Structure formats: structure tokens, C-alpha cells
Copies of this chain bind each other. A is one copy, B any other.
Amino acid sequence: MNAAAAVADLISALPEGAVDLDPGTRERCSHDDAEWADFGIPSAVVFASSAEDVAETVRIAARHGLTVVPRGAGTGLSGGANATEGCIVLSLERMTAILRVDVDERYAVVQAGVLNDDLRRHVAEVGLWYPPDPASQSISTIGGNIATNAGGICCVKYGVTRDYVLALTVVLADGRIARVGRTTAKGVTGYDLTSLFVGSEGTLAIVVEATLKLLPLGGREERAIVGYFRSLTDAGRAVAAVSSAGIIPSALELIDRTCLDAVAAWQGWALPEGASALLLAKVDEPGARGEELARRIAEAFATAGGSQIERATDPDEIARLFSARRLAYPALERLGPVLTEDVCVPRGAVPEMLARIERTAADEDVVIANIAHAGDGNLHPLIIAPEGDDEAMRRAKRAFDRIVDDCRALGGTVTGEHGVGLLKLPGAAEELSPVVLDLHSSIKQALDPQGILNPGKAFPNGA
């Protein structure tokens, strides 16, 4: 490994301004939003403008034995974009072109650095819709969404990022450019390399361009239904009742008391006495059918003991009802650094999982607030530790590990939508059997024998 020689080669091979050695830039690009995970400082940050820039960077890094850590907007929460000391951070944030929108065939071709919301807005102008809606949608890139197979609120009904990726252009570990997938609605020619690359966190290849399936924008009408519950068990019963009624809502979110308190204290709201949780649902079927589903969800809420049940169809009113969800994260960040958990359990295990998280918070003496995509069992316990309190941070990390253990005990998976990155490596080691870990190592070895692409992420690689 010869970082200086590699940097010199990069500077001479790449367009002017592509290689940034500024200490501030290297610091800024040294990690994603998982500041609790380890990271080093890169030798250089390359801002690629084209697939060829990416390929050239990978070739040069490979020649000098440097590792390459790809990076979108750095909004990840698991450390998947955290730099290794002396690596090349390869930023795709300048690759923001929306190359093509095919209205008739309903797909878009975009560079990896396009922001999720920018794509959404762009295709809406021609009556199309890109459903995946991670909470970071206004600041995260499509490439990052693909690297982590990002979820979001509407995926309970509309699926996750992988369900919308038809084809990818990637740069391989040897610098070759490969195009995998198809643009047709169906296709089974060869292995599904597209799905393999989605969610692989840049450890098998670097995504430079994606062909994304779109849906018609029209034909939907949003209706919101919200209600408070005196216990997490009651809220869990409401979720189960919606599900067993055969209703698939377009959103079904839960916010617990700790979270509500933080929002209420910030916004000066009064909460209903004895409320332990708020459920927020949406349906989007148009007309009488949507009306019927909204009514049935409201009934399910009421039967499960819900109170202050409200319904809305006006977009502003829907936004008001969902404001607690929107304000939850910033409200909690006011209390201290937030360690964001991401576990997914069977839908029916959500109340038990929340009860266990409550016990963990008490036992470890940390504040844990909960936002949950209740409709698909995906919980985001938010563990808060006061700034600068090292002992509290240790307790927070213990709580994090205990939540992962409890999730596994309830038949869950250690990451629902944020990715393994670095933070979930111990959890992944528990979840994936030795033979499945061997499969991971074999595939990594086959596609990146030098181990230069984002080493140490996505799965525990003992090799």
C-alpha cells in the first residue's frame, strides 16, 4: 500500500477538481451519520463525475493496494460509509444526472448521486411515482438507497428499494464496468445479480447508474387515521386487527410515550392522559373503497381501546396528524446524541419487543424512545445518551446489544432497513449461520479477491 503514489496517480488520471486532499473534506467524508461506529481518515476523497472516473479510481486503488469506500450523501445510520484509515473515499454526490425517463415503459435511468426526492419530483411532472420513501428521502441518494436496500414508510404496502431496481451499471473490483438487469417488465436471463448488488453496501461493486421501475402517480387518494392507546399491548392489538382484516395500509406507524413526550415538551402540546402510544395509519385506495378501509381501521383502533381517534383526507390535515412522526427524531436529538436502532420482528411480536425495550431502558438507565413501522414489524428504538457522558454511552451501547438479542429471540432480523454497516456486524454474526457466512465470504472472494471494496462492511468476514 502506497497512499502517496496512489494519490499522485489519481490526480493525474482524473479530471481537475476530482481529487480532494483538504483535511476538512477528508474529515467530513470520513463517516456517515453513525458516528458511534469506528472510522478512520481517508488519504483522499475522489468526487467522481462519471462511471469512468469511478472505474479509474478503483483501478488505481487496486494497483496500489488501497481500499475504496464508496459514499453517497453519508446519511447512513450503520457506518456503511465509514472510512478505513488511509483509504480512498469515493463520493458519488456529483453524479446527479437523471438520464432518462421512459413514460410509456415507466422507468427512469439515473446516476447514483441523484437525491431520492429529486427523482420523486422529476418523475411526478410526467405523472409517475417512485415509491421508496426512507425518512432521509430529502437528503439521501439513490445510490445510497440501493447500497442499503432502503425501506421507508410506504413499503408496508409498496415494497422496498430492491423492488424498484430493474437494472444497474456497476464498477467491479477490477475496474471493469458491468451492466446487469433489464428494462423490460419481466426477465429471467441469468442470475439475479441486480438483487445481489442491491443491499451489498458497496462491498461487491460500486453502483454508478440505476434503472428504476416507476408506478403511475394517479389513482391514489390518501386518508389518514390516528389514535392514542393506553398500552403498547392495546396498540399491538390494533395493528394485528388491521392485518387480520386483510387490510394492507400504505402506512402504519407507531410512536411511543417517550417519543411523544419529547415532541410535546418541544412543541408545547398536551397529550391525552395515560396515552402510551400513538398509531398513525394511511390508506390510499380512491373513493368509496378508501373511505371504507379508513372506517374499518378506525373501528379496529376503537375496538382495541384506542381513543381520540381522528381521520383526515385533506393533505394539510393529514400532515398535521402525522406531525408527531415528522418531529419525533429532531425532538429527540434535542435531548442528546441519538443511537438509532433498526430491528425487524414478526408483526405480532411488536408489543412484546417494545415491552422488552422498556425493560432494557430501565435496567440500563438510558432513555429509549421508539418509532416503529408497526405494519411491518420494523422498530427504530432511539437510544439517547447525554453529550459527553462516557458512562451513559457505554450503557447505551449495552442497551443496543440487548435490543438486538431480544429481536433475535423473538424471531426477528437485526436490521430491517438501515443495513449491517459496522454497527450490526455482531448482530449479523449471531443471525447468519456459519454456512451462510461462508457463502458470503465465497461470493465476496469471487467478486473482490483483493478485498478492496468497502472492506469489513455488510457481513462479518472472518476470512
Q: A151-B186, A183-B411 are known contacts. Are A436 and B104 too (CB-CB below 8 A)? A: no
Closest to A105 in B: B346
- Collect the chain B residues with CB atoms within 8 Å of residue A204's CB: 191
- Collect the chain B residues with CB atoms within 8 Å of residue A182's CB: 344, 413
The CA of A188 and the CA of B427, in the complex, are separated in Å by 12
Q: A244-B103, A288-B287, A447-B442 are known contacts. Are A191 and B196 too (CB-CB below 8 A)? A: yes
The CA of A196 and the CA of B192, in the complex, are separated in Å by 5
Closest to A246 in B: B216
Nearest CB of B to A211, in Å:
12
Copy count, this protein chain: 2
The CA of A209 and the CA of B229, in the complex, are separated in Å by 40
Q: A185-B156, A443-B191 are known contacts. Are A348 and B105 too (CB-CB below 8 A)? A: yes
- Are A442's CB and B433's CB within 8 A? no
Which bucket holds chain A's interface residue count?
Answer: 35 or more
Nearest CB of B to A437, in Å:
8
Of B188, B191, B288, B347, which is within 8 A of A148 by CB? B188
- Collect the chain B residues with CB atoms within 8 Å of residue A227's CB: none
- Collect the chain B residues with CB atoms within 8 Å of residue A188's CB: 148-149, 199, 413, 415-420
Specify the main secondary structure of chain A where it touches its partner: loop
The CA of A107 and the CA of B323, in the complex, are separated in Å by 33
- Collect the chain B residues with CB atoms within 8 Å of residue A151's CB: 186
- Are B184's CB and A413's CB within 8 A? yes
Of B179, B240, B347, B376, which is within 8 A of A433 by CB? B179
Further pairs besides A151-B186, A185-B378, A187-B415: 5, Cβ < 8 Å: A184-B346, A186-B373, A195-B196, A218-B246, A219-B246
Could you list 29 A-B pairs, sorted by A, with CB under 8 Å?
A148-B188, A155-B186, A156-B185, A179-B436, A180-B436, A180-B439, A182-B413, A183-B411, A184-B377, A184-B378, A184-B413, A185-B375, A187-B415, A188-B413, A188-B417, A189-B414, A190-B459, A191-B199, A191-B439, A191-B458, A192-B200, A193-B436, A193-B439, A195-B196, A285-B285, A286-B289, A288-B288, A289-B289, A442-B446
